[in-house]
Amino acid sequence: MSADAHPKLLDAIKGQPKQVWITAFAAVIAFMGIGLVDPILQSIAQGLNATPSQVTLLFSSYLGVQVVAMLVTGAASARFGAKRTVITGLVLIVIATLLCAAAGTIGQLVGLRALWGLGNAFFIATALSVIVGAATGGQKGAILLYEAALGLGLSVGPLLGALLGSISWRGPFLGTAVLMAVALVLCAVFLNSDAREARARVRIADPLRALGHGGLLRTALGSALYTAAFFTVLAWTPFVLNYTAVQVGLIFFGWGVCVAVAGVVLAPKLAGRLGERHATVVSVIGYAVLMAVLAVPSKPVLVVAVIVSGVVSGLLNTLFTGTAMSISPAPRQVASAGYNFCRWLGGAAAATLVGHLAEWFGSAHAPFVVAAVLCVVAAGLLAVPAKQPDPRTVPATAALVGEEL
């Protein structure tokens, strides 16, 4: 990024109202939940006498419920309004995280993570529309803030989990509950009340119907396979490294920073040069190569590959979303719900099976090999030409940011 690009990016987010910043803050905390438990997986296993396969269910239950709830959140937001939907999600997250801190068995913790996932689905699915609707000066600052919140949450989550987890594995859950309670109060006070106006009706089955479009279906399935590889890294690497919580937290903090920078800065440039679909194919093949590198039985190689994978993940998170939003004639919120249903289903499946794969193949590195194969299949799905030529445009979620770079 050129030196003169920084003032333009800063100008895009200046003068935003308080509710934009408050929602962005809450989004950071919500996204922290994805990687919060990563550094403390082994501590939880020891504290609750759980096996690695049982502990990775913390990702499975969280994502599995979130997947199903994503089909409902669009209809809920359309019927009850964005503020009510956001507040409902935040209340559920606060309750779940507080109870997680007091859980006495791995079963209780898995169940409470499911409740957390439900709250996250209601919040995350609505936060972007709140930010865009309240932002001044168009969508530039709104999109940048949301992408920055995603990256910041992914990077801070493992670091906070590591620091508080070094005291007790219950600490990260309690810390998140406090932060999310603050976000809940701020959102309740400062977000504009839902307008009493007719809202477009969104049926629960609409997102699934949208997947009848071949281009969107291939994109969604490709994203599901990539997300399975993504969560193989997130859920399984701590067990292979066998490092302390702080060490794992620092590694994934570097990973999260790479995700943030690549998603906001590099993805628009790559898409502008190659086109969304071609850029996504190249990136997912690169991710397959990194998964193969992770299978090398060397901890230094593993650490470097995990951090570098954050760069490719940042690219793919933005590229996949941009492709999904532009390839289908369905309304954006409907296409997004269908796409996210498939995407997070891949993550939930991976988190459930990753420990079993290592047992079945008798190798701690086997899940990475499987992840590499999944990425190759994803590239094959995406390589199928669309009916219309692939325009050399940046992703929908980053297009306006890309103009400033």
Using the 3D structure, point to which of 125, 160, 192 is the last residue of a domain: 192
**Is 349 domain-assigned?**
yes
pLDDT of 271 > 80? The answer is yes
Is there a single domain that holds both residue 117 and residue 213? no
Is there a single domain that holds both residue 157 and residue 260? no
Using the 3D structure, point to which of 192, 219, 237 is the last residue of a domain: 192
**Is 5 domain-assigned?**
no
**Is 285 domain-assigned?**
yes
Q: Which pLDDT does position 391 carry in this prediction?
A: 43
Nearest to 315 by CA among 211, 223, 380, 389: 223
Instruction: Provide the token pair at 48.
Output: 């609750």
Is there a single domain that holds both residue 188 and residue 209? no
The pLDDT-based confidence of 396 (bands split at 50, 70, 90) is very low
Instruction: Provide the token pair at 317.
Output: 């998170």
Tell me how crowded residue 319 is: count the other CB atoms within 10 A of its CB: 33
* 144: Cβ contacts below 8 Å, ≥ 6 apart: 9, 12, 13, 264, 401
Instruction: Provide the token pair at 263.
Output: 């998603």
Mean pLDDT, rounded, for 196-222: 76
Distance of CA 363 to the CA centre of its chain: 28
Residue, of 200 and 110, whose pLDDT is higher: 110
**Is 199 domain-assigned?**
no
Is there a single domain that holds both residue 232 and residue 325? yes
Is there a single domain that holds both residue 60 and residue 166? yes
Using the 3D structure, point to which of 192, 216, 232 is the last residue of a domain: 192
Q: What percent of the chain has pLDDT over 90?
A: 25
DSSP calls for 80-130: H-HHHHHHHHHHHHHHHHHHHHT--SHHHHHHHHHHHHHHHHHHHHHHHHH
Instruction: Provide the token pair at 334.
Output: 């409907």
Residues 230-246: pLDDT tens digits?
989 988 998 899 888 88
Q: Which pLDDT does position 397 carry in this prediction?
A: 43
pLDDT of 122 > 70? The answer is yes
pLDDT of 63 > 80? The answer is yes
pLDDT of 146 > 90? The answer is no
Mean pLDDT, rounded, for 128-140: 64
The pLDDT-based confidence of 403 (bands split at 50, 70, 90) is very low
The pLDDT-based confidence of 398 (bands split at 50, 70, 90) is very low
Instruction: Provide the token pair at 39.
Output: 């550094």
Q: Is the dihedral of CA 187, 334, 256, 162 positive or negative?
A: positive
Domains held by the chain: number:
2
Is there a single domain that holds both residue 171 and residue 61? yes
**Is 362 domain-assigned?**
yes
DSSP calls for 157-199: HHHHHHHHHTT-TTHHHHHHHHHHHHHHHHHHHHSPPPP-S--
Is there a single domain that holds both residue 244 and residue 135? no
**Is 3 domain-assigned?**
no
Residue, of 3 and 280, whose pLDDT is higher: 280
Cα distance between residue 44 and residue 104, in whole Å? 11
Give the domain extent around 275: 205-405
Q: Which pLDDT does position 389 carry in this prediction?
A: 45
Mean pLDDT, rounded, for 127-147: 65
Is there a single domain that holds both residue 102 and residue 141? yes
Q: Which pLDDT does position 332 carry in this prediction?
A: 65
Is there a single domain that holds both residue 108 and residue 225? no
Q: Of how many residues is the chain composed?
A: 405
